[in-house]
Structure 1
Amino acid sequence: MHNLFKRYERLMIQVLLTMMAIAIGLATLDFGWVLFQSILAPPRLLIEGEQLLEIFSLFMLIIIGIELLESIINTYLTKGRPHFEVVLSVAIIAIARKVIILDIKTTDSLSLFGIAAIILSLTVGYYFMKQSHPDDAPPSEPDRDVAPLPPRQQKHR
């Protein structure tokens, strides 16, 4: 029974990954279309602040989707286990997107304090998670056999 559930879970993850890849592709096409329209709209080749925020918002949304897709592929399909670092890193990227597209003029101070609290709690949580699971760190580059530098000789005047 457990094996059947694992196979079903793996199939559902693959279906979701396929749908997510399609959504990222469509979002990329939409991003290209918005960028194209923004460049061609009068005044030509100039992008206004509102348009720039929309472009950055779409770009960051695509980056979040790609990061989530890559993280799911790396953790669920290759390692076969959930990875809490994925959730925290995607949440940090998502809140960074919110900060980038945030309009300070219309946002009240309580919301800004809330966003600051979210950023602080996510980064502290990420730090503690990395401290408690040092085996999840990416492998370091193997040491190379590099000849030591010769001793430095002093020049005589």
Structure 2
Amino acid sequence: MLSLLKKYEQIMIQVVMVMMAIVLALCTIDLGWTILKDISKPPYFILDIEELLELFGLFMLVIIGIELLETIMKTYSTPGQQHHEVVLSVAIIAISRKIIILDMKTVDSMSLIGIAAITIALTIGYAFVRAKRPKQQIK
């Protein structure tokens, strides 16, 4: 029964990898389309702040997608691999994306405090997980 569940888990991991690759390709196509659309309207090749923030957000989304796909490929397909560190690093990248595209004029101070608390908590958690890992596994 346990071996059947392990085989099922491996099949689901492969299905998720294929779906993630498709989503990543679509997101990259959307990014390219957005760039072409933004630079092809007058004034040509000049972007305003909102367009730049949208593009940076899409770039970060593609980077997060690549990181997630790599996480699935490396971590979940390797038996016995711990997932904690990778999940925390992806979460740090995701919150970094939120910070990069944040419009400081529209965000209240409590939201900024919340984002800071999440960032600090994720970083401390990552440091603890990394410190707990055996020395020979640290690259």
TM-score of the two chains, using structure 2 as the length reference: 0.95
1:24 aligns with 2:24: yes
The aligned runs of 1:1-157 (5 Å cut-off) are 1-134=1-134, 135-138=136-139
Aligned-residue sequence identity (percent) comes to 57
Q: Deviations over 1:132-151 (max 9, x none)?
A: 1134312xxxxxxxxxxxxx
Instruction: Give the whole-Å Cα distance in 1 for the aligned partners of 2:128 and 2:37.
Output: 45
Tell me the secondary structure at the aligned position of residue 22 of structure 1: helix
Alignment coverage as a number of residue pairs: 138
Amino acid at match of 1:36: L
Give the superposed CA RMSD. Answer: 1.0
More helix by percentage: 2
Deviates more, 1:104-113 or 1:74-83: 74-83
Instruction: Give the whole-Å Cα distance in 2 for the aligned partners of 1:80 and 1:7.
Output: 15
What are structure 1's unaligned runs of at least 5 residues? 139-157
Deviates more, 1:101-110 or 1:79-88: 79-88
Amino acid at match of 1:96: S
Per-residue deviation, 1:52: 0.3
Instruction: Give the whole-Å Cα distance in 1 for the aligned partners of 2:74 and 2:45.
Output: 40
The 4+ residue runs of structure 1 with deviation greater than 4 A are: none
Instruction: Give the whole-Å Cα distance in 2 for the aligned partners of 1:42 and 1:77.
Output: 48
TM-score of the two chains, using structure 1 as the length reference: 0.85
Q: 1:96 to 1:68 in 2, by over 3 A?
A: same
Please name the residue that 1:144 is paired with. none
What are structure 2's unaligned runs of at least 5 residues? none
Per-residue deviation, 1:113: 0.2
Tell me the secondary structure at the aligned position of residue 81 of structure 1: coil
Instruction: Give the whole-Å Cα distance in 2 for the aligned partners of 1:44 and 1:76.
Output: 45
Amino acid at match of 2:12: M
Amino acid at match of 1:44: Y
Higher relative contact order (CA 8 A, sep 6+): 2
Instruction: Give the whole-Å Cα distance in 2 for the aligned partners of 1:57 and 1:116.
Output: 19
